Amino acid sequence: MINPPNAQASQGADAVNDENSQDNILPLEQPSLKPVPKEKKKPVWSPNANHGRYGFDDYAGLETIVIKHPHLQAGDACPSCKEAKQSGKVYAYEAGNLIRLVGQPLVTGIRYQLAGFRCHLCSDTYKPEVPTAIKDAPKYAPSAVSNIAIGHYYLGLPFHRIEKLQANYNIPLPDATQYDEMAKLTKKVSPVVNYLETLSANSHLLYYDDTPQKILGLKGKPRLLLVRMALIGFIYFTQVTTVVVKRFQNYCSDAQPKSPL
């Protein structure tokens, strides 16, 4: 079948209009591939969480006191099961931990007051017998002397500042007394210090303090002498204060007699 010319013309016009209409159509927007940010939730405070604090095992230097149950022991019948006529038994478990810290000065101690009696007629006196562990113990225990050494030589506290700190706690400790105790301590630890110096001299690797401040008293001296002084300072400051004093304090804590009261 032959189409008339007018029909062919109309078909051609429709084809042109269809092409123009396709050109005018805007492309559909592609969905974004970026992840949608989630809403940040505010942190909820939990009193049971640790929140980065030190745990119970980190306070190994504290005295540990176990609070026992007033009535139950391991192997006893469970009170709840006993009421229900059951045969349950309790066993030990860790019910919780508590840490309580207190403040104290570098040196503290105990006062012992003797409660004696005197006769009003003949004036005879009767004193209580002092335990041998307390009677033979020195006034300044080795732990107290080592604490003074740590405060002065390791923490850098002058003797007069330690004296003022002790005075704030009503525990007098004059700076002259501290110096006398340090002189006695020096005689005791000198052999250990000399031996540590010998070991340091024979070691394969040494570190020294690289503080940039200049020592005015050694200005103009050879560099080798400065290095030697730095090495000696490191040996005496680090080795003595961190090793000798710490071991001496541990020895004192083990050897110090406990109060029998």
Alpha-carbon gap, residue 82 to 89, rounded angstroms: 9
pLDDT of residue 137: 92
pLDDT of residue 203: 73
Cα dist. 110→33, 170, 249 in Å?
A: 75, 13, 19
Structure tokens at 168: 């704030």
Domain ranges of the chain: 63-255
H helices of 136-173, in order, are 142-149, 159-168
Radius of gyration of the chain measured on its C-alpha atoms: 41
Alpha-carbon gap, residue 169 to 207, rounded angstroms: 40
42 Cβ neighbours under 8 A, 6+ residues apart:
none
Q: Which of 206, 205, 261, 202 is nearest to 235 (CA)?
A: 206
* Total-model pTM: 0.56
Alpha-carbon gap, residue 116 to 106, rounded angstroms: 32
> How many C-beta atoms lie closer than 10 Å to residue 173's C-beta?
21
Q: 126 by DSSP, 3-state: which?
A: strand
User: 260 with 133: CB under 8 angstroms?
Assistant: yes
Consecutive sets of 10 residues in the chain, 261 residues long: mean pLDDT of each? 52 54 55 67 76 84 90 90 89 89 92 92 92 92 92 92 95 95 90 84 68 64 60 61 62 52 40
pLDDT of residue 260: 41
Distance of CA 248 to the CA centre of its chain: 21
pLDDT of residue 116: 92
